[in-house]
Amino acid sequence: MTSEEIFIQLVPIISLYLPEDVSVEAIKHESDLTAELNINSAHLVDVV
């Protein structure tokens, strides 16, 4: 599985935990989940 395929599968999962002020379009390969997308550490556990 390529990193692009993994990324495509992760976007819908990550989008569930985005705060209202962050759009799905903000999710990039290089995005820092906690600093840039404001996903808190408790939700990171859910993503993993």
**Residue 3: predicted pLDDT:** 92
CB atoms within 10 A of CB 44: 13
CB atoms within 10 A of CB 33: 17
**Residue 8: predicted pLDDT:** 93
CB-based contact 28:41 (threshold 8 Å): no
pLDDT per position as a tens digit, 2-45:
999 999 998 999 898 888 888 899 999 888 888 888 887 777 77
**Domain ranges for the chain:** 3-47
H-type alpha helices, 1-48: 3-15, 41-47
Q: What is the DSSP letter of 22?
A: S
